[in-house]
Each structure stands twice: as C-alpha cells, then as structure tokens.
Amino acid sequence: MKAVIEIDGKRLEYPILEGTRGPKVLDIRTFYKDTGMFTYDPGFTSTASCSSDITFINGEQGELRYRGYPIEELAKSHRYSDVCYLLLNSKLPSKEESDEFDNELRHRAFIDEGLRKLFDAFPRTAHPMAMLSSAVSALSAFYFDHLDISEDESFQEMSARIIAKIPTLAAFAYRRGLGIPIIQPDIDRYFTENFLYMMRAYPGGKFHREVGKKAPTTIRDIEVKALDTIFTLHADHEQNASTTTVRTVASTGAHPYAAISAGINALWGRAHGGANESVIAQLEMIGDIKNVDSFIKRAKDPNDSFRLMGFGHRVYKNFDPRAKILKGLQDQLKDELNLDSRLLEIANRIEEIALSDEYFIKRNLYPNIDFYSGVILTALGIPKNLFTAIFVIGRTVGWVTQWMELKKDPKAKIARPRQLYIGK
C-alpha cells in the first residue's frame, strides 16, 4: 500500500506500513530528502516515533494490552513481579521462573551506604520526586557498567537492579520527609509488601502496637493486593511523555539509569503522572459536594486555565481501562480499607456530572487512571506527595523494557526533531 502526495505538481509516493494492530502508518522517513520540507506535528499527535511490540492501546475502544495480554486479566490473575517478567521477557513466567525472579528482586533491593547518605543532604521539605530522580541519577555513579547489549544477562541485571531498588529509594524519600531513620528492605518480604514495610515499620523492623490490641499492626494481604494491582496498571503505556523522554535520552547513548531519571522528571508534571497528586489536592480544595458545580463551571470556561484533574487523555477517547479496574477496586475496598467517604462522595459527583455534560462528552473526556488511584493510596496510608513516586515504582519496568527495545532496534537513530523557524 502506498500514499501519493503531490507538491508543486511533483508526485511523490510513500509506503504505508501496517502493524499487527492499530492504525496504519505513513512512512515519511525520506520526506525531507525528497522535498526539502519538514512535517509539522507539535505534541506528536500524529507521529509514531518507533515500532514496538511491548504494549498495545486501542484508545477508541478503551483497550490496553502488555505483550498481547489484556490488562484486565493481568490485574486480576497475576502478581506485579510476574507482570514485570512478562514485559521484560515477552512471556509469563513458569512457577520456577517466577520464584527465581522474585528472589532476584529481593536480593537487589538493598542500597549502597553511600547512596543512602545522599538522602541526609536533602531538606525534609524536598518533594519525594526530586529526591527520587536525583537518587536514580546517582545510581548511575554506583553502577557505571558499560552494558553489552548483545549480552541478555547484563540487560537482565541492569533491569532487575533498578526495578528492585526504586521502592527502597521511594521509601527512603518518604522517611526523609518525616525525618525518621530509614528502614532497609526485608529479604523475606515480597516486592510490594516490602515497600509498605519500608514505609511503615519502626527502626529495627518493628510495627506500631495499637493500645489495647494484642497483635502488633502489620501489613494486610488486601493492602498488598491493592497496591500490587496499582503497580500492574502503571507498568507500561507505550510512547507517553516519560517513555519518550527515556527513549530520547537513551538514543544519545547515555547511561540507562540517567535515562530513567529523566523519565522520572518527565512523569512528575501534572499533565502526566503528577496528576494523581493533583486529583486529591483538587478534591480536598473542592471540599464539599455543594462546591462541585462551580468547579465544573471553571473547568469548562475557555478563559480559565483550571482543568479537572484526572480527566482526559491523549489516547483514550473512551473510558481508560485502567480507570475502570481501579473504580471496581475502589468499590470493593470501600469498607474493608475504610476509604475516605467525603472524598469519594465529591469524586462520584464530579464523575456523574462530567459523564453527562455536553462539554466533556463532545471532547471525549473520561476519568483516567489518576482519578481513582488517589483515594485507594490515601487509605493505604500513602501521603499525596508520594503518589507520583508510586507511579514511578510501577512504571520503571516499562521504561527499562522500552530502553532495551530501542537499544536492540537496528533502525533506531538519535532523537532529533526539526522546527518551523519563526524568529528574526
């Protein structure tokens, strides 16, 4: 299949590429050479920057798959570490492979003492994302390997190391904010449980003992399952802003952890991963169900920069499938985790109005993943300034998988867009 473009009477033919699924893609790689013209696409709304076999999204139907597996199935029936294995290895692990990978993550979760000391230098008021991105950048100083990408083993080591250490670094950032001593990982705990342990335990690994209760407060299975599902839902999302950042930095040949640190910074913004923190801040600002209407009015006003956080998506023009799963989880956990009923009431009212309002319907603005994650994270005792770090923990596997795909792609080039110059 070909597309014919006529410019100043000159007829040019360009191949149309077909993937396994998704829209066809016009291959314009020779366009500048042929015509001396660039294409113009700010925000890359019509541009495929690479080919990939990791994640598929059908935004019109609200479909998301990792390595061909629907997100609904992965969230329901597989733990997060197995989803990581799937993304990295293109197949779900056997029982033995699953145990082995889980064990590797436990062993690699520890942090070099020198890197731990970095946290002492941050002010307690520092945002956890600032500490996390700096610590991941510093990680490249501690593991300055020159990866041989023909060696799958060195890739596996690099990936497992960063996936395992990110929760530890996020927990360090959290505890630094409180000014309390950090807790090193417990090798006997699974990835997600370990993160909650590193957040909650007292120095020495003990838990708070509630007055009048015999057993010390620990970590409930239902909490681990909820957070594990949240990590799975965030694991990858094809060529979003942070992944594109990781690929762009990787395309220059920089250290993989430097690329991931750049991805963390890209994620921080409120239009992207930072939206989860902003959603709860916004719900708290609205404060009462009676104020919802006036905020909806502001969101619709073209002269007001106010946006309803947790609504809209560049790709999903239907319900975000991750949001659907989280809404179900919210309903399921409402009583068991004692979700904040005031915030839920405000959120439900916003959702109800937005889904029936002409402004939102016309623009296909549906609730996204960030609209629902915050209420659950709050019930897990996670403060809102740590929400985006939770997104980072889940997404790191996606970034390393995409990093490797780029490195193995013989067609990959340094990312170098051009511009429409309008200056003097």
Enumerate binding residues for ligand CMC (CB under 6 A). Answer: 43, 237, 240, 271-273, 275, 299, 307-314, 363, 365, 368-370
Report the C-alpha gap between 369 and 61 in whole angstroms.
16
Closest contact distance (angstroms) between CB of 413 and ligand CMC is: 26
Report the C-alpha gap between 298 and 113 in whole angstroms.
49
Instruction: Identify residue 60 by its one-letter amino acid code.
Output: E
The tokens describing 224, both together, are 């681990």
> CA torsion, points 270, 274, 276, 279, in degrees to nearest 10?
-30
The tokens describing 155, both together, are 């890739």
Judged by CB, which is closer to ligand CMC: 256, or 310? 310
Closest contact distance (angstroms) between CB of 53 and ligand CMC is: 20
Closest contact distance (angstroms) between CB of 368 and ligand CMC is: 4
Judged by CB, which is closer to ligand CMC: 156, or 385? 385
Q: How far is CA 368 from CA 5, 15, 309, in A?
A: 38, 35, 9
The tokens describing 32, both together, are 């500048």
Report the C-alpha gap between 330 and 291 in whole angstroms.
23
Catalytic residue among 82, 313, 320, 340: 313
Judged by CB, which is closer to ligand CMC: 83, or 309? 309
Q: Clarify whether 255 is annotated catalytic.
A: no
Judged by CB, which is closer to ligand CMC: 140, or 240? 240
Judged by CB, which is closer to ligand CMC: 258, or 308? 308
| 3-state secondary structure (DSSP) of residue 26 | strand
Residue nearest to ligand CMC (CB): 312
Q: The dihedral of CA 379, 366, 230, 277: what is its sign?
A: negative
The tokens describing 216, both together, are 């010390």
Closest contact distance (angstroms) between CB of 54 and ligand CMC is: 15
Closest contact distance (angstroms) between CB of 115 and ligand CMC is: 28
Q: Clarify whether 370 is annotated catalytic.
A: yes
**Of residues 164, 167, 147, the one with CA closest to residue 258:** 147
Active site residues: 313, 370
